[in-house]
Amino acid sequence: MAEENKKFEPKNKEELKTAVQETRPGPVFIPQVDIFEDVNQVTLLADMPGVNNENISVDLEDDQLTIRGTVKEPENKDEIVISREYNWENYFRKFTIGNIIDREKITAAISDGVLRLVLPKAEETKPIKISVNVG
Amino acid sequence: MNIIRWREKPWFEFDPFSEITKLKSDMDRLFGVVRSVTSHEPMFPKVFPALNLTHDEHNFYIRTELPGIKAESLDINTNGVSISIKGERIIQEEGENVSYHRSEREGGYFKRVLSLPAKIEPDKIEAKYKDGILTIVLPKATEAKPKKITVKAQ
């Protein structure tokens, strides 16, 4: 039951600090991710509120996986800010994938601001069970 | 301000500048507060979720980023003076045979109460959830809306 009563720990949005220059000025946020793998695939979940399937791009080049999401300004022009506790900006994150991925079978879906990226492992990299004969 | 007596501390621990250092940190804190109120730099709150509050002529707008939450699990209540947002974010189990490389996304309960700066129409509040962002539109009560006063030329 301890898990059920867990309170949400507030976390500040982390800004990307890198030499990579964005064409648009302003901060770029690092989405928080879960990455896990099983025998068949590597799955990546990324929190990217404000991003939908029209403004996300996922690239895999060699072993470099890049996730980029652009966020539209949510506020109307005539709105006046009373208090602001968070900023919205584009998301960017890059990973090195250790496994050999079957590129043809990569699937990506985004819903409610969470990206789910499934990277199936290539057949030749899957573990093969070798039976040892007793001789 | 306290007067520090000589004998309270041995001479080698006595810092004649401690009061000045304290004054400086107090001043920094004071200006830090003033600055964050006047500028639009976001102030990161110690509670979840972070809210942005804006308004225009007709409405107040509360926006908050809640990725991966079911809209029906959100519980929004108002008494006309304040509004409370309650919910839970569930990080689903991904099976037993997975090994995690990274686990940064967090789940859990949250509740946030916000005082409203002016009177609103509680019956006409609308809440939308899209792409992980919750937007609550609170129409201002007629008496809270700005009134245009025309000046008659004589």
More confident residue, B9 or A117: A117
Q: In what order do the strands lie in the sheet with A90-96?
A: A28-29, A90-96, A64-69, A56-61
Residues of chain A with pLDDT under 70: 1-12, 17-26, 125
**Each residue's pLDDT tens digit, B90-111:** 888 887 788 888 888 988 888 9
**Each residue's pLDDT tens digit, B107-141:** 888 899 998 888 899 889 999 999 999 999 999 98
**Each residue's pLDDT tens digit, A53-78:** 889 999 888 888 899 998 888 888 88
Joined tokens for residue B26: 């107090």
Q: What is the pTM of this model?
A: 0.72
Name chain A contacts of B55, Cβ cutoff 8 Å. 79-80, 82
Query: For chain A, give me the number of helices (H) and strands (E)?
Result: 0, 9
Amino acid at B21: T
The predicted structure's pLDDT at residue B36: 46
Q: In chain A, positions 89-108, which contact chain B (CB-CB < 8 Å)?
A: none
**Each residue's pLDDT tens digit, B73-90:** 899 998 888 899 999 988
Residue B22 pLDDT level (bands cut at 50, 70, 90) = confident
Of B63, B86, B14, B5, give the one whose Cα is nearest residue A85: B63
The predicted structure's pLDDT at residue A39: 87
Q: Is A127 on the interface with B (CB under 8 A)?
A: no
Give the whole-number percent of chain B exceeding pLDDT 70. 76
ipTM for the assembly: 0.76
Give, in order, the Cα–Cα distances in Å from B63 to each of A49, B24, B127: 11, 37, 10
Per-residue three-class SS string for chain B: CCCCCHHHCCHHHCCCCHHHHHHHHHHHHHHHHHHHHHCCCCCCCCCCCCEEEEECCCEEEEEEECCCCCHHHCEEEECCCEEEEEEEECCCCCCCCCEEEEECCCCEEEEEEEECCCCECHHHCEEEEECCEEEEEEEECHHHCCCCCCCCCC
Of the residues A112, A115, A118, A121, the best mutation for testing chain B's interface (the one with the most B CB atoms within 10 Å of its CB) is A112
The bridge status of strand A33-37 relative to strand A56-61 is unpaired
> For A3, left (φ over 0), alpha (ψ -120 to 50), or beta?
alpha
Q: Is B32 on the interface with A (CB under 8 A)?
A: no
- Using the predicted structure, report yes or no on whether residue B12 has a pLDDT greater than 60: no
Joined tokens for residue B121: 């129409």
Of A38, A74, A80, the CB nearest to B133: A74
Q: How far apart are CA B104 and CA A33, in angstroms?
A: 5
CB B88 within 8 A of CB B110: yes
> For residue B97, what is the nearest residue in chain A, using CA coordinates?
A38
CA A66 and chain centroid, separation: 9
Q: Is A80 on the interface with B (CB under 8 A)?
A: yes
Answer whether A34 sits within 8 Å of B52, measured CB to CB: no
Q: In chain B, positions 110-139, which contact chain A (CB-CB < 8 Å)?
A: 110, 117, 129, 131-133, 135
Average pLDDT, stretch B28-36?
Answer: 57
Q: How far apart are CA A134 and CA A132, in angstroms?
A: 6
